[in-house]
């Protein structure tokens, strides 16, 4: 049998999405040898289109902010929530954490390609159309078996591998790291439309999250883009889809028709793109790291799309991992558990608390309550802006207790 080609590299990043591009750029800026293996060709479609303010911190850290600012994406100033006649808006320019006041709403194909191109301009070697089909992490070195699009194969020998493969979850599958998620099985159905929104109460600079008027565990996203289009989707437990039209477009529009506040916003929309669906997206792993590897973003754990936390967690994990790995590669002794996994998990668990509270209704009660103090709203706004690691914020340092107390106050003081 012919000998398989062998190539040696210092760091291999699996996936050229936001976490992979940022991690690779940060390491390259520190002088390390980095190659990205990406299965797809960019641009390619992805959801996760409404960025949080904290994302801008990492884009800036990776030297990509000027390019993102020049790209013409829709500026995002906050998040708005609607339930029946109730409406509550949070401004990212007024938060407890005093982070970045604005961010962007992006069509991910264009945005992800921009970040990857920026990484390449900084010297990162990106190989599109290549797939990791095997991994051997048993010895001192890490071996990845790579298949090119033409069917030829080669081995990559690396000192360290960062898995930024997102929903592909490459190392989780190949190294048997998958673990069950404790989130119920939910499904999203979504599309892009030419929105033609003329509703006087609609703010294009904010994502609109709309709760179903009767079934509060069903919610919708409306994410406006700068080109007159927007992303529209519904998220619900799988049981809520039972008995509905199997045609995805009819299914989505059926949910919207049941929600007058949203159907009014979208009454002039041109439904010109076939709807898509994704289900069972919540995921978890046994460990975030091991000898010679670490898992970033959705390749490790994905919670739920309700607060658009996925890209923020991915970018945060990329920045943290790049920092720890740089120190390791320059000879320092590092502890991936205490310096990466545990601090990353604290922010993820903060998001988890509010996601669970959203579906339980307690966090919705807080968001829609008209009597919340301005200071409490600033603390909540900081979390919605992505600053779930700022433990100066009481709603970050003690999320479960604080949310429980606040929801009890709201319940005792009904609208």
User: What are the φ and ψ backbone dihedral angles of 414, each rounded to 5 degrees?
Assistant: -65, 155
Both structure tokens of 246: 């199997």
Model pLDDT, residue 245: 86
**Count of residues making up the chain:** 415
CB hemisphere CA count around 312 (13 angstroms): 29
Model pLDDT, residue 415: 53
CA 56, CA 76: separation in Å to the nearest integer? 11
CA 355, CA 112: separation in Å to the nearest integer? 26
- Cis status, amide bond into 412, omega within 30 of 0: no
Average per-residue pLDDT for the chain: 94
Of the candidates 68, 10, 66, 5, which has an alpha carbon nearest to the alpha carbon of residue 36?
10
Give the DSSP per-residue string, 301-319: -B--STT--HHHHHHHHHH
Strand partners for 178: 285
State pLDDT tens for residues 42-66: 999 988 999 999 999 999 999 999 9
As a whole number, mean pLDDT of residues 286-313 equals 87
All structural domains of the chain = 5-46+53-73+105-180+282-346 (3.50.50.60), 186-279 (3.30.9.100), 362-412 (no CATH)
Could you tell me if 306 and 79 are in contact, meaning their C-beta atoms sit under 8 angstroms apart? no
Could you tell me if 155 and 146 are in contact, meaning their C-beta atoms sit under 8 angstroms apart? yes
In the predicted structure, residue 260 carries a pLDDT above the cut 90: yes
In the predicted structure, residue 290 carries a pLDDT above the cut 60: yes
Model pLDDT, residue 1: 37
Both structure tokens of 132: 């990791």
Model pLDDT, residue 168: 84
State pLDDT tens for residues 182-237: 777 789 999 999 999 999 999 999 999 999 999 999 999 999 999 999 999 999 99
Of the candidates 296, 183, 231, 187, which has an alpha carbon nearest to the alpha carbon of residue 73?
231
For 1, 91, 367, 369, 382, the CA distances from 373, given in Å and listed in that order, are 72, 15, 11, 10, 14
The CA radius of gyration of the chain, in Å to the nearest whole number, is: 22
As a whole number, mean pLDDT of residues 238-257 equals 94
As a whole number, mean pLDDT of residues 331-351 equals 96
Instruction: State the helix-helix crossing angle for 310-329 and 18-29, rounded to 10 degrees.
Output: 30
Supply the DSSP symbol for 341.
Answer: I
Report which of residues 301 and 259 the model is more confident about. Answer: 259
Strand partners for 90: 79
CA 293 to mean position of chain CA atoms: 21
Q: In this prediction, what percent of the chain has a pLDDT beyond 90? A: 84
Of the candidates 227, 222, 348, which has an alpha carbon nearest to the alpha carbon of residue 296?
348
Model pLDDT, residue 305: 79
State pLDDT tens for residues 67-113: 999 999 999 999 999 999 999 999 999 999 999 999 999 999 999 99
CA 318, CA 322: separation in Å to the nearest integer? 6
As a whole number, mean pLDDT of residues 131-147 equals 91
Model pLDDT, residue 210: 98
Supply the DSSP symbol for 2.
Answer: P
Model pLDDT, residue 413: 67
Of the candidates 295, 287, 370, 283, which has an alpha carbon nearest to the alpha carbon of residue 325?
295
State pLDDT tens for residues 61-76: 999 999 999 999 999 9
End-to-end CA distance of the chain: 75
Q: In this prediction, what percent of the chain has a pLDDT beyond 70? A: 97
State pLDDT tens for residues 265-283: 999 999 999 999 988 766 6
71: helix, strand or coil: coil
């Amino acid at each position: 049998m012919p000998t398989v080609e062998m190539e040696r590299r210092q760091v291999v990043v699996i996936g050229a999405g936001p976490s992979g591009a940022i991690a690779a750029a940060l390491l390259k800026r520190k002088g390390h040898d980095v190659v990205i293996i990406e299965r797809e060709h960019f641009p390619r479609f992805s959801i996760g289109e409404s960025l949080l303010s904290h994302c801008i911190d990492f884009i800036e850290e990776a030297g990509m902010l000027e390019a993102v600012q020049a790209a013409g994406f829709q500026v995002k100033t906050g998040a708005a929530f609607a339930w029946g006649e109730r409406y509550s808006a949070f401004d990212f320019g007024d938060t407890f954490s005093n982070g970045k006041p604005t961010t962007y709403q992006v069509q991910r194909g264009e945005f992800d390609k921009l970040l990857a191109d920026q990484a390449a301009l900084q010297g990162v070697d990106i190989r599109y159309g290549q797939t990791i089909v095997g991994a051997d992490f048993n010895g001192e070195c890490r071996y990845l078996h790579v298949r090119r699009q033409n069917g030829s194969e080669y081995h990559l020998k690396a000192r360290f591998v960062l898995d930024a493969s997102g929903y592909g979850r490459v190392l989780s599958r190949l190294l048997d790291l998958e673990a069950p998620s404790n989130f119920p099985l939910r499904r999203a159905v979504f599309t892009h439309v030419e929105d033609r929104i003329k509703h006087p109460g609609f703010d294009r600079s904010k994502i609109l999250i709309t709760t179903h008027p009767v079934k509060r565990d069903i919610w919708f996203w409306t994410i406006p883009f700068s080109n007159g289009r927007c992303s529209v989707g519904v998220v619900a437990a799988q049981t809520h889809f039972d008995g509905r039209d199997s045609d995805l477009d009819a299914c989505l529009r059926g949910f919207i028709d049941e929600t007058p506040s949203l159907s009014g916003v979208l009454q002039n929309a041109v439904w010109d793109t076939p709807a898509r669906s994704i289900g069972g997206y919540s995921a978890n792993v046994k460990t975030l790291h091991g000898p010679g590897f670490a898992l970033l973003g959705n390749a490790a754990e994905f919670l739920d799309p309700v607060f658009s936390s996925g890209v923020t967690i991915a970018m945060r994990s990329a920045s943290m991992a790049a920092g720890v790995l740089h120190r390791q590669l320059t000879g320092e002794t590092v502890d991936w558990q205490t310096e990466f996994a545990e601090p990353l998990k604290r922010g993820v668990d903060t998001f988890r608390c509010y996601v669970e509270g959203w579906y339980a209704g307690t966090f919705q009660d807080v968001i829609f309550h008209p009597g919340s103090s301005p200071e409490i709203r600033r603390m909540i706004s900081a979390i919605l802006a992505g600053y779930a690691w700022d433990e100066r914020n009481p709603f970050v340092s003690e999320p479960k207790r604080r949310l429980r107390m606040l929801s009890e106050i709201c319940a005792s003081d009904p609208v």
